[in-house]
Amino acid sequence: MNFRILLVDPICNVHRLRPKYLTPSLGLAIIASHLLEHNYQVKIFDGTINNSLTDFKKVLREYSPQIVAFTAYTYQIKSAALMAKICKEVNPCSISIIGGVHATIAPAETLKEFNVFDFVVAGEGELVIIPLIKKIISSEDFSRPDMERVVSCQQQEYFDLSKSLIPSWELFDLKKYKLYNLNERDHEGVSLGLNVTTSRGCPFTCTFCNRLFGNVFRYRSVEQVVHEIRFIIEKFNIKNFSFSSDTFTFDRQYVLKLCRTLLKENLAAKISWTCNTRVDCLDDEIIEAIKEAGCKSIALGLESGTQELLDKMKKNIKVANFEAVIKKLKKSGIKVMANFILGLPYDDEKSIQTSIDTACRLPLDSCSFSIFVPFPGSEIIKKLDQKLKFDNNWDLFSTQAPYYLYPHPQLSRKRVLFLHKYAYFKFYFRPRYFFIFFSRVNLWSIKDYLLRSIR
């Protein structure tokens, strides 16, 4: 079918927000696979690796897409709107669609603020994209069909993950992306890696999180996941994976089955993988199974070193359990990365210091300190809503940005930003870390961050 669609991950030139190591957007690769299955022509412009608007205009002129569909995190939404405006200038008849994280957490607001988008899709794109494209095509002269401009599938239904297709990674220039190298034998510290979905949804209730895929935990069959891994190895010779799941080890029977199957199919020894989870979703059997199945590192959401704060944010984990779980992971040879959030509304100077001290005390391999960002959609923000005015500064909504957007009653912005930098310095400039910091390849991005902070 001669119907051309351009999928766009927007350009982002905001200071420090362009990570050095990138994986291509799993969301766009999935949307592309559904479009290709229906025989539409699809091209991808990835502004995270090509930030030239001249190149973007060139693609618009040469490929001349009838539909341009964007994905966007919150920090990219303004850039997506700017690019959609350019699309209309180059081809006034083209239709623009915005989907992804920001459109999902603030659909009506997105349309109101950025009228340049013809349609805003909230939720899992697999449910919507084909019917929407069909409606656009069947409308007169491919014009905007007379229908609701906010297309939301969030509340109604979840996408049945057994119907997932293998993401169309071949549309990306894969050699330009990098995932942290989880296999330390490779030189340079990074090599290409891809995200593979194992599950969506999270039943926990952390107040700072917007649970983008809802609170019902759903998983893909083990067979599908293993088939996708094998396919990626055979087609692209890629052996590094990041399992995309809100809480990878939530369903222990599922994880045990996945691990057994990776071993049985002789894949475990070939691959390196990482995942996100919580300390209360790990036990001896799971740790042993994931290690045997190729898990080289794990990211734990520890969030705070103060129990009272963890309780207030409804994280439902115990500081007292952190050390034992991390020691077990380390003993089995899995590298442990922890995430802490600094500057939450419940935080004060003392609790932030406690989080930093806790990070330094634990036997962690690396640590990420996020600045609290008031993303729309989380319980915290719903409660504070009236007090927050952001003046459309969405491009500052990054957890590693040098901005603190929340008007904290006790902590000044300057102080939180200072403590954020201090946290990294204190963690990585301990005698224990000083040497490996400059020699260990998988810490390069932190080194980069620190060097940029000093400049």
Return the number of the residue (168 or 245) whose C-beta is nearest ligand SF4.
245
**Full DSSP string of 64-124:** --SEEEEE--GGGHHHHHHHHHHHHHH-TT-EEEEESHHHHHSHHHHHHH-TT-SEEEES-
374 is a contact residue toward ligand SF4 (CB under 6 A): no
**What distance in Å separates the CA atoms of residue 393 and residue 117, rounded to the nearest whole number?**
18
Residues in 130-149 at the binding interface with ligand B12, rule: CB under 6 A: none
Residues across the chain: 455
3-state secondary structure of 201: coil
Q: What is the dihedral of CA 18, 22, 27, 29, to 10 degrees?
A: 130
Identified binder of ligand SF4 from the candidate list 206, 256, 258, 411, rule CB under 6 A: 206
Among ligand SF4, ligand B12, none, partner that 105 touches (CB below 5 to 8 angstroms by kind): ligand B12
Our finding on whether 302 is near ligand SF4 (CB under 6 A) is no
What span, in angstroms and rounded, lies between the C-alpha atoms of 262 and 294? 8
Minimum distance, C-beta of residue 225 to ligand SF4, in the bound complex (Å): 19
167: closest CA among 217, 74, 235? 235
Which residues, numbered 383-442, are part of the site for ligand B12 (CB under 6 A)? 397-400
Question: What would the x/- binding string for ligand B12 be over residues 43 to 62, using CB under 6 A?
Answer: -----x--------------
Q: How far is the CB of 289 from ligand SF4 (least distance, A)?
A: 21
* Closest CA relative to residue 244, chosen from 308, 302, 355, 164: 164
**Tokens for 64?**
């001349």
Q: Rounded to whole angstroms, how far apart are CA atoms 189 and 210?
A: 32
Identified binder of ligand SF4 from the candidate list 74, 79, 198, 247, rule CB under 6 A: 247
Residue with Cβ nearer ligand B12 (152 or 307): 152
Closer Cβ to ligand B12, 228 or 246, answer by number: 246
Q: Could you say which of 65, 301, 305, 345 contacts ligand SF4 (CB under 6 A)?
A: 301
Question: Within positions 74 to 93, which residues make up the interface with ligand B12, using CB under 6 A?
Answer: 74-75
Q: Which two tokens mark 253?
A: 């029977």
How big is the chain by its Cα radius of gyration, in Å?
Answer: 22
Q: List Cβ neighbours of 363 (8 Å cut-off, separation of 6 or more).
A: 323, 326, 327, 330, 336
Residues 6+ apart with CB under 8 A from 167: 26, 29, 30, 32, 33, 194
Among 204-212, 332-340, 357-365, 429-437, the segment contacting ligand B12 (CB under 6 A): 204-212
Tokens matching residue 322: 């952190």
- Choose among ligand B12, ligand SF4, none what residue 97 binds, the Cβ cut-off being 5 to 8 Å by kind: ligand B12
Partner interacting with residue 301 (select from ligand B12, ligand SF4, none; CB below 5-8 Å by kind):
ligand SF4
Provide CB contacts within 8 A for 62, sequence distance 6+.
Answer: none
**Does 107 help bind ligand B12 (rule: CB under 6 A)?**
no
Q: Which residue is nearest to ligand B12 (CB)?
A: 99
Quote the tokens at residue 218.
Answer: 């759903």
Q: In this chain, which of 40, 56, 73, 180 binds ligand B12, going by CB under 6 A?
A: 73
Q: Which is nearer to ligand B12, 142 or 292 (CB)?
A: 142
For the CB of residue 431, give the shortest distance to ligand SF4 in the complex, in Å: 33
Q: Which residues on adjacent β-strands are paired with residue 277?
A: 300
- Which one of 126, 228, 347, 395 is in contact with ligand B12 (CB under 6 A)? 126
Q: How far apart are CA 288 and CA 284, in angstroms?
A: 6
Q: According to CB under 6 A, which residues from 17 to 36 bind ligand B12? A: 19, 22-23, 25-28, 30-31
| 246 touching ligand SF4, by CB under 6 A | yes
Residue 201 interacting with ligand B12 (CB under 6 A): no
Provide, rounded to whole angstroms, the least separation between the CB of residue 282 and ligand SF4: 13
Find the binding residues for ligand SF4 in span 106-125 (CB under 6 A): none
Surface-to-core class of residue 16, CB atoms within 10 Å of its CB (0-12 exposed, 13-18 middle, 19+ buried): middle
The distance of closest approach from Cβ of residue 127 to ligand B12 in the complex, given in angstroms and rounded to an integer, is: 8
**246 contributes a contact to ligand B12 by CB under 6 A:** yes
Per the structure block, which two tokens stand in for 339? 């995430």
Whether the CB-CB separation of 354 and 305 falls below 8 Å is answered with yes
Residues that bind ligand SF4 (CB under 6 A): 202, 204, 206, 209, 211, 246-247, 278, 301
Residues that bind ligand B12 (CB under 6 A): 19, 22-23, 25-28, 30-31, 48, 69, 71, 73-75, 97, 99-102, 104-105, 121, 124-126, 128-129, 195, 209-210, 212-213, 244, 246, 375, 397-400
